[in-house]
Structure 1
Amino acid sequence: MPTTQEYWLSGAILDVPALLQPAAHALLQSVREIKTYLADFPEDKLWENPFGRASIGFHLRHITGVLDRMLTYADNKGLTEEQFHFLKNEGNGESAPWSQQLIADFEKKVNQALEYFKNTPESILTEKRFVGRKKLPSTVIGLLFHAAEHSQRHVGQLLVTVSALKNQ
C-alpha cells in the first residue's frame, strides 16, 4: 500500500470487527502521519511550547496515555497507580525520551489497541462503561471511537506545532 493512500481507503484490517474498522483506520493513520511530520524534526525543540501551546512531546505522550486509559475503561477496569503517574507527567519534558521513542511508544499502544479490537465481539460494543473517578457514562464503542478521534485531533495540533517550530 503506498504511504500516500489513507488507511480508511485501504480496505478492511484483517480480524478487526466491521464496526471498529473506522477507529482502527484512524489510529493507523495517526501513526503514519506522526512519523511523516516528525521525520526531520529537531530534537531540541521537542518540549518547546510555541505561543503557549502544548509541546510536541506532550502530544506524543498524551495520545499514548489517552489510548491506554480508554482501553482500560473499555475493559471495565479502573486506572492503576502507574497510569495516574503517567497522566500526571505527560507534559513533563525532564528526563523524557527522545521523539523516536515517544513515536515507538504510541505505535506499540496502537498495536495493542488493534489486538484489543480483534478480540472485542461486536455484541459488547454498546455495553455501558464508566470513565474516571466521577464514573461518567460511556459505552465500549464510545471509548474506542473517542481514543481514535482524540488521537487524530492531537495529530492535527502536532502538525501545526511542528510547522511553527520548524519555521522559527
Structure 2
Amino acid sequence: MSNTVTLNQNSTRADRSKYLAQVAVSKSRSMISLREARENVRCSIKEAAEAAGITERTLKKWEIDCGRADPFAIGRLCKYYGISMSHIHAGKEEDLLTARREASTMEKKTIRVEDIVTLFKHMGRDTTELENFLEEIRGSWEAETKNAPATGIAKAFVQSHM
C-alpha cells in the first residue's frame, strides 16, 4: 500500500489502528467493523446495545472506534451477531475502510514495461539488455500475429494491441 504504517515504541493509538487495518487487509483476513457486523444481521443499534448490556450511545462510539471497547461487551455482541471476535477490527472503522480502498486500488493498477525501463533509466541504470529483450519479444509477437489467421480472437487481440 502507498501509505504503509510501521510501528515502534512511540507509535500512537491511531497508528496502531491503521497498522492493524493494513495488516488485516494485506493478509486477506475477513475483518469487519462492528457496524458492518450489526448491519449483516440486520438489527438496530438499540437491539444490539440491549443484547450487549450497553447504551446506544456507547455502541455508536464503538462502531466508529472499538479500540477502547470493553472486550466482554464485544464478546456479547459477537455472540449476538453470530461471529468470532477475531473477525472484528480492533480499531477505527475508517482505518479499515481506507485500507480496503488502498488494497483495491493497488489490485487495479498495472505496470507497463516501458514505465519500468524509464524508471531504471532515471535511476541511472543501463537498460540496454532489457530493451533488447523487449524488442525480441515484440518481434516474435509481430511475426506470430502476422502469420495467424485474422479471425476471431486473434483479430481482436491484434486490434487491441496495435
TM-score bin (small chain): under 0.3
Between Structure 1 and Structure 2, the one with more strand by share is: 1
Normalised TM-score (structure 2): 0.27
Larger RCO: 1 or 2 (CA < 8 Å, sep 6+): 1
Normalised TM-score (structure 1): 0.26
Structure whose CA Rg is larger: 2
